[in-house]
């Protein structure tokens, strides 16, 4: 079961845009929008990772690929019969 989302997608997008472009501290932007500062900080980092701004963070596509590979490794392997 997927986790419940506390904030609507539109608010997340607006907060990320404002957090990246306003030049103000993320905590101030979060306070103004009624968003937890750690949530906004995570959203901003994820948005920057998507654009290559954080080379040590995985993009969404990379996270999905990693999850797929981990799931594949968890599957029992059958040996080919001769």
Annotated domain spans of the chain: 9-74
User: Between vectors from CA 38 to CA 16 and to CA 29, what angle results, nearest 5°?
Assistant: 45
Q: Could you list the mean pLDDT of each consecutive 10-residue stretch along the chain, which spans 82 residues?
A: 73 90 91 93 86 75 89 78 68
21: number of CA atoms within 13 Å, CB side? 6
Q: Which of 36, 74, 78 is nearest to 12 (CA)?
A: 36
Q: Which of 44, 45, 50 is nearest to 64 (CA)?
A: 50
> What is the third-level CATH fold of 9-74?
Arc Repressor Mutant, subunit A (1.10.10)
Q: Which of 63, 12, 5, 2 is nearest to 33 (CA)?
A: 12
| pLDDT at residue 36, rounded to an integer | 93
| pLDDT at residue 3, rounded to an integer | 61
| pLDDT at residue 80, rounded to an integer | 66
| pLDDT at residue 4, rounded to an integer | 61
| pLDDT at residue 62, rounded to an integer | 82
| pLDDT at residue 52, rounded to an integer | 74
The pTM for the full model equals 0.63
């Amino acid at each position: 079961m997927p986790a419940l989302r506390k904030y609507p997608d539109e608010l997340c997008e607006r907060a990320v845009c404002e957090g990246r472009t306003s030049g103000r501290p993320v905590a101030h932007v979060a306070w103004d929008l009624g968003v937890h500062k750690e949530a906004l900080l995570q959203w901003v980092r994820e948005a920057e990772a998507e654009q290559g701004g954080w080379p040590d963070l995985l993009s969404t596509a990379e996270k999905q690929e990693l999850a797929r590979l981990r799931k594949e490794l968890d599957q029992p392997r059958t040996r080919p019969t001769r």
